[in-house]
Structure 1
Amino acid sequence: MKIRIAGVLLLLTGMTVANAQQPINLIPQPVDVQPQRGTFTLTKTATIGYDQPKAQAAADMMAQKLNAPTGFGLRPKAGTKASIQFDLNETPNPKLGKEGYTLDASSKGVTITANEPAGLFYGMQSLLQLLPKEIESKTPAQSSWTIPAVRITDYPRFGWRGIMLDVSRHFFPKDDVKRYIDELARLKFNTFHWHLTDDQGWRIEIKSLPKLTEVGAWRVQRAGHFGNRLDPKPGEAASYGGFYTQNDIKEIIKYAQDRNVTIVPEIDVPGHSMAALAAYPELSCTKTPVSVDPGTAFSEWYGNGTFKMLVENTLNPSDEKVYEFLDKVFTEVAALFPNQYIHVGGDECYKGYWAQDPGCQALMKQLNIRHVEDLQGYFMNRVEKILKAKGKKLLGWDEILEGGISPEATVMSWRGIKGGIEAAHLGHDVVMTPTTFAYLDYQQGDNDPPIYATLRTKKSYSFEPVPDGVDAKYILGGQANLWTEQIPTLRYAEYMTYPRGWALADVYWSPKETKNWDKFVPRMEAHFDRADIAQVNYSRAVYDAIVRTSMKNGKLTLTLESEVPNLDIYYSIDDTMPDAFSTKYSQPVELPDGPITLRVITYRAGKPIGHLIVLSRDALQKRAGR
């Protein structure tokens, strides 16, 4: 009898193993995922088909993605009965919209269906994530190319799902920009905001204004932390930089279009214009020659959001030559970029030089305005008229609300969500991109080089783009921003983008109701493995301890926690290196007086997993005052 029972148990166990599904770890999380029994195994005899010419692009790209790691040499063909089939609905499914899709995988094969080619593209991205991680290899790899049987219905929550890359502070060559766009498209981001001009460089060729790239695209070479670098020396060669020719721009736009990514260019005015003024100083108030800034301390910030520029970096709003200049710039930009928006910046515009300029004072008198801040409203309205004449819509940071803008203008809310709420209540379309959730240049943990603030992946994942009391119809979606003051290479840009970019992909695509951090973590960790094979860089700061302090009854109190659940935290304050035999954290600790140094490390399953964090007493004391 015991033998029979054991045999039955063994049989049942065998059935469980045989029917076990490989985990489905998709980012972003689809609307509906229904696992089924069985798997489909991709072999060299597999076929890829498409039912309409418009579906061929997705089939072709699928073949390219599969052939490198598998070595199968698959070639798509028109038809309706392939192993991997891409079909466009003859009668659109209203639930799917323009970007949604269904994916049906069984032991017989896979069918992806959509209303539009964009949906087929996104279905293809999900299918690639269903394959083993070795599919990310750029060279032939060994794997059992199985796909779990599953039925997926999926469509995005928001129409605007963006990431901004600043190429002014550091120039990123054309191929780097393409790779970055490719990575975003795989996560179903559909908007690439390209920050092309700023104080540190002008990156787009304007043929009617050649000095913008002859002069404005180059600066002196400098090392060290941004904001503390040395000024250019007299006669020093400006050798660091670069720019995109108009042919480069067209090539990158086409590359993005093939991946269903819209590029929104940004020409940052009237502030952040030092590179433009280095080329054409006559467009400033003082007409004083300036250099393209290499990252010096050219401004003073006072901690309450106000600041003073020590070097002029602002266009003169009272000079008609400025608007002639902008008309030339936007004529060429509008001709290059097919999308409806041009981003015009509008942020952090210092008005001090305007206040001292006779021309600006005369203009204020003519306009019957008392405050110099209102000149920005005048400037932006002039810019908007230029854009409208070229068939484009104005998009800008939330400062464009100051001084009044037309109802057609679209606002990016970056100083928290307050500006977005105000703009929505005024009837403006809004893209939510607040520093508090979406600024990818911020530190991810204590081990990152210091910059303005810290933003952890869990905080990004908690972002809700539609604030309470706001009509959701005005919220186009959300965006992450990667400013590159401290990011000189694509490799480091990737490190700063991921995993926070994965978290925000969920925020902008997936249903609000499915958000769950603990369930996101295993999906994120699966993508760590895939990124390793794809040679995409990322941060592991999610495994690092979070160190907080407070003052209680005159004593410095330490609190430790982790983003990822089920980590063990060990620490020392006796100048020893902590390990799994050190003091394990369980509750807040009252720290002793004296010049102690805290060392903290995290473990999982008996193995170290996080970085070692080292903080002096002074650093701990400062945290208590935050």
Structure 2
Amino acid sequence: MRHMNLELAWACLGNDASGFSARLQIRNAGPAALPAAGWTLYFNTCRPVDPARLSASVCLLHPGGDLFGFAPAAGFAGLLPGQTLEIEYWSAGWAISVTDAPLGFYLVLQDAQGGQQVRALGDAQIAPFLTPAQQQRGPEDRLPASTAATRYAAACGLPEAEALHGLTPAPQSWRSAAGRLTLGAATRILYQPALASEAELLRELLDAQWGLAPHCLPADGQPAGDAIVLRLAQAGDGIAHGEETYGLEVRPQGVLICGASGHGIAHGIQSLLQLLSSAVAGVIQLPLGVMRDAPRYAYRGLMLDVARHFIGKAAVLRIIDLMACYKLNTLHLHLSDDEGWRIAIAALPELTEVGARRGADAALCASFGSGPQAQDSAGSGYYSRADFIEILRHAQRRHISVLPEIDLPGHARAAILAMQARHQRLLAAGQVEAAEAYLLSDPEDCSTYLSVQLWRDNVMCVARPGCLRFIETVLRELQSIYAEAGTPLHTIHTGGDEVPDGAWLASPLCRQLMAQHGLATTAQLQEYFFDQLRALVQHLGLRLAGWEEMAVASAPDGTGRAVPNPRFLDAPMRSYVWLSAWGKGREDLGYRLANAGYPVVLCNGDRLYLDLACAKDPEEPGYYWAGFPGLREVLEFCPEDIYTDARCDLMGQALEPAALAGMVRLSEQGRANILGIQAQLWGENVRDGARLDYLLFPRLLAVAERAWCASPVWAGMNDMAARRAAQDAAWAEFSQRLGRHTLPRLDSLAVPPAYRLPVPGVVLQDGVLHANLELPGLTMRYTLDGSEPDAQAAVYTAPFAWVPSPQQEGAQVRIAAFSSNGRKGRSAVLDLPSSTG
């Protein structure tokens, strides 16, 4: 194994309506032969491989989830140094981007002593997706791929616009005045005693971002000199009712921030920081003006999936800071799933000892490219009690609620295996009764199922008494953690999504429970469990939240259609509605649940799933099961009217007007039940901090805009031409604001996020090269010789004529966006015509 060196290359050969064919090349670049037997090449892929359509040289293994393996078939002669093995195979689903390629390869080789050696091989080299068969999902796919030309066309023809201000999200009103206020070393922060925490936060942020550390003094008055005064709103301040409302006044006499509560004051502080600009070292300036502001929705959230790939404490604290800056107020942490358990529970140490480690030698196998080594892997890790308390306190100071999610009864494999390990440990110690206390599986269960993520053993046995005991123990520990942090836990999110068909069918314990309570189907068993879960949560003094599946039942007409379940309306659970992709048949479920009386948070996959690719571009990371939500699509999300802009399904085919007309609209009662919106960042593709930032930003800024600002003017327009013109104008202003103000401000942070820089649009028309960006204000640099542009490359400022010379035959234009701190985005490539035509 020490001398084994395998080079891997992968290519999609083409897609059709039902799947795709692919080729994996394994080249032996080392001095030792790969033997004829005794090895397995493991890899992760979310596209299940068909064992019946596979090269004869290998056979397929599927340990579970997205982990697959190729092992030598009978007759394989080995792979000598310099030789290449080609494996062609077929998979369900499609492969139209780098995200669809297998990743995280590692080789397990049996040695002569019966042991095994493991070597991480990393990712394969991925061949470009160039042909229509590689870029399209079969003949029904009418959605064009993103190209340099389509990007150019999308950014052309917009109305001339300037940013109205430098604030994101936009305030309700900002009346600017002539002049500026200068703040410097003599600046003081004067605050009412109840606002001491907010005053100290402002001082810390001014120091960290501007090197200005003003003294904080308790006081109750009006601004004088260059003081910043923080006080609760009084009659006559013109501050609307609502905990998060605020006013900001910048006058020659100083700054006044008043709010309905400390939460409103905190928002005013963030707006103040966005207005600041530097004149000279140690001195900062503010434009004079008066602002009044309040949010549209009380709930403005971001869900981070820390289970699939662990996101460490430092990164979470940084995300909280950025959420506060853009006035998001709820961080929903997805703390458990099949691939990981991420919070320490003192009474159940196996949850992190077993459930927080992934690797070849761990109970949890490698997933999503996390590799064979559990140590220092993005697939391993958890928050200690102290870590989580620090996260909670950091969020509380910024008026952000942290909503914990423990996903069950499906998506629970990490917990199930951890409790099996606990069971084995205590059995070995002779503690039979204690061993059974928290077991989450039925050893006699012969049910066969396959979850959406390809697991066969990821559903808790809801008939075991240990199941509710486990949940209660976890929830009591969470309550204790929150209490120690000084921020009581009010709501628990328990997932409840994607329990696969077939679960529980062959479990003796479940069949016995069903007979005892007269339950005819496993759907009724799940509903019975949710009822038990709700009673437990209420007993603990908590409110229940879950994904949409927890609030629905099957229609009594036998169609299987999901309808609001009236059973839980007496103490309604908060429902997070996500499966809104056009053509899936559940587009209006959020409205139906809200009309029925459920409090609803809209999490629409087609606009708010930030782990989806932002464009149909092979190089863009992310899935696309609900579409390709780009920055503009996120901005134009109308939470209370999803229909007016509905034009095509996931394949780009026109939607039937009759189908749209038959969908439910929000009633007045339903409108009142829409609590707000939440962006989701599921973690399958979040392998490191750079990918985290790339997927989140700048799209999260558009989510913040839509969650905070009043319903846009176009939302009520039925005239499509007028609506589109209004959308163009709003997009032109927003894109200018981000490109010229918001993103440069992000670049200036001590740890700036590596947000996605847009790929330029570029065309050659009549011998003139034109380029543009969806975010004006960023710098574009280009080369004409096919080399990658760098900080010394020419700056594109205007279209220019291009007449190729013989020395430049077959050259390429490469042009890329650069941030204000010099970071480079992905280049657009345009092949130049040859001088011979």
Q: Distance in 2 between matches of 1:205 and 1:335?
A: 12
What's 1:469 paired with? Answer: 666
Shift of 1:450: 3.6
CA 1:562–1:178: 2 relative to 1, 3 Å: closer
Q: Is the 1:270–1:315 Cα contact (8 Å) retained in structure 2? A: yes
AA at the equivalent of 2:732 = D
Counterpart-to-counterpart distance in 2, 1:383 and 1:450: 37
Unaligned segments of structure 1, at least 5 residues: 1-20, 136-140, 290-297, 302-306, 548-559, 585-597, 617-626
- Could you tell me which amino acid in structure 2 is paired with residue 463 of structure 1? F
Letter matched to residue 519 of structure 1 = E
Greater share of residues in helix: 1
Amino acid in structure 2 at the alignment position of 1:258: R
Selected match of 1:100 from 231, 238, 245? 245
Q: CA deviation at 1:499?
A: 0.6
Does the CA contact (< 8 Å) of 1:577 and 1:599 recur in 2? no
Q: CA deviation at 1:508?
A: 0.6
What secondary structure sits across from 1:41 in the alignment? strand
Q: CA deviation at 1:45?
A: 1.8
Q: C-alpha separation between the residues in 1 aligned to 2:802 and 2:233?
A: 61
Letter in 2 for 1:406: F
Is the 8 Å Cα contact of residues 376 and 402 (structure 1) preserved in structure 2? no
What is the DSSP-based 3-state SS (H/G/I as helix, E as strand, rest coil) of the residue aligned with 2:503? helix
CA–CA distance in 1 between the matches of 2:743 and 2:574?
Answer: 36
Q: Distance in 2 between matches of 1:22 and 1:43?
A: 27
Residue in structure 1 matched with residue 440 of structure 2 by the alignment: 283
Q: Which residue of 2 aligns with 1:161?
A: 300
Q: Which residue of 1 aligns with 2:753?
A: 537
Instruction: Report the Cα offset of residue 466 of structure 1.
Output: 2.2
Alpha carbons of 1:419 and 1:22: their partners in 2 closer, same or farther (altered >3 Å)?
A: closer
Q: Which residue of 2 aligns with 1:47?
A: 188
Change (3 A) 1:176 1:427: same
Distance 1:423 1:509 in 2: 23
2:185 and 2:282 in contact (8 A); partners too: no
| Cα displacement (A) at 1:254 | 1.4
The correspondence for 2:349, drawn from 186, 191, 210, is 210
Q: Which residue identity is paired with 1:427?
A: G
CA distance in 2, matches of 1:488, 1:155: 36
**Secondary structure of the corresponding residue to residue 568 of structure 2:** coil
- Kindly tell me: are residues 427 and 394 of structure 1, through their superposed partners in 2, closer, same or farther at Cα, counting changes over 3 Å? same
415, 418, 428: which one aligns with 2:579: 415
Out of 451, 476, 496, which is 2:695 matched to? 496
1:242 to 374, 381, 402: 381
Distance 1:174 1:69, change over 3 A: closer
Structure 2 counterpart of 1:335, one-letter code? S
Show the counterpart of 1:262: 401
The question of whether the paired residues in 1 share the 8 Å contact of 2:450 and 2:500 is answered with no
Q: Which residue of 2 aligns with 1:195?
A: 334
Q: Name the aligned partner's letter for residue 686 of structure 2.
A: I
The aligned counterpart of 1:438 is 608
> Matched residue of 1:365: which SS?
helix
Cα distance change of structure 1 residues 231 and 615 upon mapping to structure 2, 3 Å threshold = farther
Identity between Structure 1 and Structure 2 (%): 31
Q: Please say if 1:425 is aligned against 2:595.
A: yes
Residue equivalent to 1:484 = 683
- Cα contact 1:213–1:243 (8 A) shared by 2: yes
Work out whether residues 340 and 356 of structure 2, in 8 Å CA contact, stay in contact via their aligned partners in 1. yes
Query: Structure 1 residue 93: deviation in Å?
Result: 6.0
Question: By how many angstroms is 1:158 displaced?
Answer: 0.6
For this pair of structures, how many residues does the alignment match? 543
Partner residue, 2:531: 381
After the TM superposition, which of the residue ranges 433-442 and 91-100 deviates more from structure 2? 91-100
Distance 2:307 2:269 in 1: 33
Closer/same/farther in 2, CA of residues 583 and 469 from structure 1, 3 Å limit: farther
1: CA distance between counterparts of 2:368 and 2:534? 36
What is the CA-CA distance between 1:483 and the residue it aligns to? Answer: 1.2
Measured after TM superposition, the shift of residue 481 of structure 1 is 0.9
| Cross-structure match for 1:175 | 314
Does structure 2 conserve the Cα–Cα contact (< 8 Å) formed by 1:221 and 1:238?
Answer: no
Q: Which letter does structure 1 place at the counterpart of 2:337? A: D
Partner in structure 2 of residue 11 of structure 1: none
Runs of at least 5 residues in structure 2 that lack an aligned partner in the other structure: 1-161, 421-438, 483-487, 554-564, 581-586, 642-664, 714-726, 764-770, 790-795, 804-811, 832-837
> Structure 2 matches for 1:279-428, cutoff 5 A?
279-281=418-420, 282-286=439-443, 307=452, 309-337=454-482, 338-403=488-553, 404=565, 405-407=567-569, 408-416=572-580, 417-428=587-598
Structure 1 residue 576: Cα displacement: 12
Q: What letter matches 1:62 in structure 2?
A: L
Alpha-carbon distance, 1:144 to partner? 5.2
Counterpart-to-counterpart distance in 1, 2:292 and 2:316: 31
Mapped to 1, the partners of 2:370 and 2:395 lie a distance apart of 38
- Aligned partners of 2:692, 2:273: CA distance in 1, in Å? 24
Q: Kindly state the Cα deviation for residue 219 of structure 1 after the two structures are TM-superposed.
A: 1.3
Matched, 1:129 2:274: yes
- Flag the 1:324–1:351 CA change in 2: closer, same or farther, 3 A: farther
Residues in 2 aligned to 1:231 and 1:144: alpha-carbon distance in whole angstroms: 50
Deviation at 1:264, TM superposition (A): 0.5
Amino acid of the residue matched to residue 276 of structure 1?
A
Any idea what the Cα deviations from partners look like across 1:112-143, whole Å, max 9, x if unmatched? 111211111110100000002x69xxxxx837
Of 201, 215, 231 in structure 2, the residue corresponding to residue 75 of structure 1 is 215
> If you compute each CA radius of gyration, which structure gives the higher value, 1 or 2?
2
Report the residue type matching 1:334 in the other structure.
Q
Query: Of the candidates 230, 239, 247, which is equivalent to residue 86 of structure 1?
Result: 230
State whether structure 2 residue 827 is matched by structure 1 residue 612: yes
* Matches for 1:553-564 after TM superposition, within 5 Å: 563-564=774-775
The answer to whether the 8 A contact 2:341-2:351 is kept is yes
Query: How many angstroms apart in 1 are the aligned matches of 2:603 and 2:410?
Result: 20
* Higher mean C-alpha displacement, 250-259 vs 348-357: 348-357
Amino acid at match of 1:283: L
Give the whole-Å Cα distance in 1 for the aligned partners of 2:608 and 2:762: 19
Q: CA distance change for structure 1 residues 609 and 312 in 2, over 3 Å: closer, same or farther?
A: closer
For the 8 Å contact 1:157–1:510, the answer to whether it is kept is yes
Cα 1:331–1:67 change in 2 (3 A) is closer
Q: Check the 8 A contact 1:438/1:479 in 2, yes or no.
A: yes
* In 1, Cα distance between equivalents of 2:578 and 2:523: 19
How far apart are residue 286 of structure 1 and its match? 4.3
CA spacing shift, 1:566–1:44, aligned 2, 3 Å = closer
Code of the residue aligned with 1:502 in structure 2: it is L
Q: CA deviation at 1:94?
A: 6.3
The 1:308/1:120 distance shift into structure 2, 3 A limit, reads closer
| Counterpart Cα distance in 1 of 2:323 and 2:630 | 20
Distance 1:142 1:474, change over 3 A: same
- The whole-number CA distance in structure 1 between the counterparts of 2:314 and 2:776 is 38
SS for the counterpart of 1:184 is: helix
CA contact (8 A) 1:599 1:612 kept: no
Quote how far apart the aligned CAs of 1:43 are.
1.8
- Assess, with a 3 A threshold, how the Cα gap between structure 1 residues 72 and 374 changes in structure 2: closer, same or farther: same
SS at match of 1:276: helix
Superposed displacement of residue 418, structure 1: 2.8
Q: CA deviation at 1:266?
A: 0.2
How far apart are residue 512 of structure 1 and its match?
A: 1.4
How far does residue 561 in structure 1 lie from its aligned partner after superposition? 10
1:207 Cα offset (Å): 1.6
- Counterpart CA distance in 2 for 1:181 and 1:288 is 43
**CA contact 2:621–2:685 (8 Å) conserved in 1:** no
CA deviation after TM superposition for structure 1 residue 180, in Å = 1.3
CA distance in 2, matches of 1:143, 1:221: 54
Tell me if 1:512 matches 2:711: yes
SS at match of 1:373: helix
1:283 is paired with a residue of what secondary structure? coil
Work out the CA distance in 2 between the residues paired with 1:489 and 1:378.
40
Instruction: Note the C-alpha offset of 1:49.
Output: 0.8
Match of 1:65 among 183, 205, 210: 205
What's the TM-score, normalizing by structure 2? 0.59
1:527 aligns with 2:742: yes
